[in-house]
Structure 1
Amino acid sequence: MTDDTAPPLPPRAHPAWVLTGFVLLVFCTGTAEYLVAGVLPQLAADVGVSTAAAGQTVTAYALGVAVGGPVVTILTARLPRKGLALSLGLVFVLGTLVTVVAPTYAWVIVGRVVSACSQATLFAIGLTTAAAAMGPGRQGRAVAIVSSGLTVATVLGVPLGALLGGNLNWRTPFLVVAVVAVAGVLILWSSMPRTPAPATGVRDEIRTLVRGPVLLAVTTTVVGFAGVGIVFTYLVPLLSDVTGLAAAVIPALLLAYGVGGFVGNLVAGRCADLDLGRTLIAVFGALVVTLALFPLVAEHPAPMIVMVLVLGLLSTATIAPLQSLVLRHAGAAPTLSLAVNVGAFNMANAVGSALGGVGVAAGLLRWGGVGGAVFAVVGLVLALLALRTTTQTTAAQATQSTTQEDHQ
């Protein structure tokens, strides 16, 4: 097995500050992704495009993460981690500042893409560094801590954009994010130790990525998380048009959903350290049941509120177990696999939103949970296959080790 192959941080390192720096940067990259949703009208009016066109800046960012992230990871595979992390943080700041001063819509797109290209690799470095800092047997918690920056971003991204951009200027929230990201870079600069360049290269990273359990984990991420996206993307119209909740109640419920995601992520990280297989099965099983119940209770406010809160707890609970599964099989070359899996969550959001939109256009707003449950079932099957492959790999390694000992 390759559970704990990441080298421990040197004694002079400051693990708490290192984790803080990465959490801040992950929070900033995640917030930048969601900010646009809160300032779409102002952005569209300022640069002279339609609201629909302004919304494509979200697509540009998602593609930058999903496509640009792996490319950046491959190109930087042999660079020392501290210098790379700092450089990526500065690239994100630069892209965000381009967005802040962009005179035209095209420059807004450029800024968004530049910012996005840093996210996946930076996130992956944060995960491997956190795993080393937390020590053996705590990979799940390490992943959950770094990922908490992203879960907080999902809670605050849109409200922060609406609050700052609505009352001041749509560029202001991006400037605030850039300033916070600079703080994260400075924390890493002062606390993260210098380490030698990785001994592994591009071929090692690609060889790791194409391992069966890793590919299954990435596929599970896309399919399983897409089920959540089908429902969550259109949760507001579902709650207002079908459930009949008052407009004043929905923002508070969405905030509670986001807080639930933050808590669920941390709890799942702890559970993944105790028993990764049972955690994955439990999370996907609970997702299947929860999503399937949405259409059945959609017209009843009280149980619907409960379902939304439960979905909030489960929404990000797949992150720590799936990334932990990747880490277990990534050996000394985990960065590309982790970066691809980060992009897989973005891809899942895009797939879920697109399919959910098709359902809404067909008049099936209430029944989105059925489609989400189907995706969660497939995610559960893929997770079981990934775990089975994991078990077979472990048994093969144990047999090989015993054979080698017999020949000595």
Structure 2
Amino acid sequence: MPFWLIAITFAVFVFYTDDYMIAGVLPELASDLGVSESTAGQLVTAYSLVLVIGAPLIAFASARRTRLGVFVGASVVFTVANLLAAMVDSFWQLMVLRVLAAGAAAACLPAMFALAPTLAPPEKRSAYIGIVSTGIVGALAIGVPFGTLWASLFGWRGNFIVFAGLCVLSMVLLFGVREQLRKPGELVSARTHLTALSSRPVVTVLLGNTILLGGALMMFTYFGPFAADFSNSSLRQRGLLFAVAGVAGLIGSIAGGIYVDKKGASAALRIGFALFLGTMVVFAILTVFAPIPLAVLVALTLVWSLSLYWNAPAMQTMLLDSAPDSATQVLALNSSSTYLGVTVGSIAGGITLALFSPFALPIAAAALSAVALLVIEVLGRRTATSERLAHDSAERTT
């Protein structure tokens, strides 16, 4: 594995973990700043919203900058914001600093995902995308537990200090591969970008990605209460389940990228959707016999998480194929659609939990996943047909 790929993946891990690391220390942070836990939770919401809105805008604004310049500038802002966050005593001061840190992350993440397929050998393009995606999975599987443990030893302010340090380490690694990062952004006009990004293939994949993640992250967000009722699992056992989900996600992201390179994105997506839908159906059937042995829940969790992250390289490859000259911009929109999906899943899961029970979650998740599959398959097929007819018509005209 090339060193530049390791450097980029580590940077993605740092930027994504910085969003989630507050989740484990909300009670202590809220108590120190004199706000409720629900109010303190808005720090996570603000970070996510900046990524949703800021990533596409910053990607356009920095389109002609070199990757190295964007990474270094944003990393400096990110580091300073985290250091200052460890010193403030006001919730609103902390909110401003979280917005600054999120803006820095939004400037870097799409460009990092776009750089991987640009520098990769053609036969390994999707595999490299999958490896970079492990930075996201690692943020949940490793970063959040690490941040919680660190905070238990040094307090919640220690989290911001350690992530400032990790960002400095990330800058050192990126500077070590600066020759690969001197490549400028996409040198095409804004009009060309907008035309590509508003095309039906791009919109179709983005819509499908949002719906799919809405269903998948609905289960992830409320997996605690579901697992507690499904197998009478304890808090420690549920911690084990999240670790299993993280490891399976890492494997799924890498394996999915390799499969896309060999068999194509469409074939990979069908496998990912089939595994996810099948797992949700099994979950729904077994709720009738709850409580189910923990070993069964572990096995199903492994397949569910693997299938979710298996799809990520395929989605990104389809987007890159649809807008090859606007890689950074289209992946910025993909980042936004991902966070939008998380928001949709959180809201839909909360409503499902309030109206029914945790056992209704896999049914709702399966329904959203089926809709996502229909969007990608049906709209994608119509797009391919219309483009083929337009091509044939043009050839007859000439």
Equivalences for 1:6-405 in 2 at 5 Å? 16-193=2-179, 194-196=182-184, 198-274=186-262, 275-298=264-287, 299=290, 300-301=292-293, 302-385=295-378, 387-388=380-381, 391-392=384-385, 395=388
| Structure 2: gaps of 5 or more residues | none
Question: Where has structure 1 moved over 3 Å in runs of 4 or more?
Answer: 389-404
Equivalent-residue separation in structure 1 for 2:241 and 2:184 (angstroms)? 47
Aligned residues: 391
The answer to which of 115-124 and 232-241 deviates more is: 115-124
1:204, CA displacement in angstroms? 2.4
2:178 corresponds to which letter in structure 1? M
- Unaligned segments of structure 1, at least 5 residues: 1-14
> Which structure shows the bigger proportion of residues in helix conformation?
2
Q: Equivalents in 2 of 1:23, 1:400: separation in Å? A: 45
CA–CA distance in structure 2, aligned partners of residues 95 and 323 of structure 1: 30
Distance 2:311 2:375 in 1: 13
Tell me if the contact between 2:204 and 2:380 (Cα under 8 Å) persists in the aligned partners.
no
Structure-2 separation of matches of 1:188 and 1:390: 39
TM-score normalized by structure 1? 0.90
Q: Which amino acid aligns with 1:269?
A: G
User: Bigger CA drift: 77-86 or 51-60?
Assistant: 77-86
The two structures, once aligned, show a CA RMSD in angstroms of 2.2
| Deviation of the 1:248 alpha carbon | 2.5
Measured after TM superposition, the shift of residue 278 of structure 1 is 0.8
The answer to whether the Cα contact below 8 Å between 2:14 and 2:166 also exists between their aligned partners in 1 is: yes
Contact residue 280 and residue 383 of structure 1 kept, 8 A: no
**Is the CA contact (8 Å cut-off) linking 2:4 and 2:174 kept in structure 1?**
yes
Contact preservation (8 Å) 2:197, 2:330: yes
Q: Is the 8 A contact 2:64 2:184 kept in 1?
A: no
Q: Give the Cα–Cα distance (whole angstroms) in 2 for the partners of residues 181 and 400 of structure 1.
A: 53
**What is the DSSP-based 3-state SS (H/G/I as helix, E as strand, rest coil) of the residue aligned with 2:233?**
coil
Following superposition, the deviation at residue 237 of structure 1 comes to 1.3
User: Shift of the alpha carbon at 1:48?
Assistant: 0.8
Shift of 1:350: 1.2
Distance in 2 of aligned mates of 1:159 and 1:236: 15
**Preserved CA contact (<8 Å) 2:55 2:110:** no
Residue identity in the other structure for 1:279: A
Contact 1:19 1:126 in 2 (8 A): no
1:163-184: CA deviations, max 9, x gaps? Answer: 0112221011222122111111
Deviation at 1:186, TM superposition (A): 2.0
2:94 & 2:18 partners in 1: Cα distance? 12
For residues 279-318 of structure 1, give each alpha carbon's deviation from its aligned partner in whole angstroms, at most 9, with x where no partner exists: 1111112211212222322311243332112112112222
Equivalent position SS for 2:147: helix
Deviation (angstroms), 1:36: 0.8
Instruction: State the 1:399 CA deviation.
Output: 5.3
What letter matches 1:277 in structure 2?
A: S
Percent identity for Structure 1 against Structure 2: 26
Q: Distance in 2 between matches of 1:351 and 1:387?
A: 23
C-alpha separation between the residues in 1 aligned to 2:184 and 2:208?
Answer: 33
Q: Distance in 2 between matches of 1:158 and 1:360?
A: 24
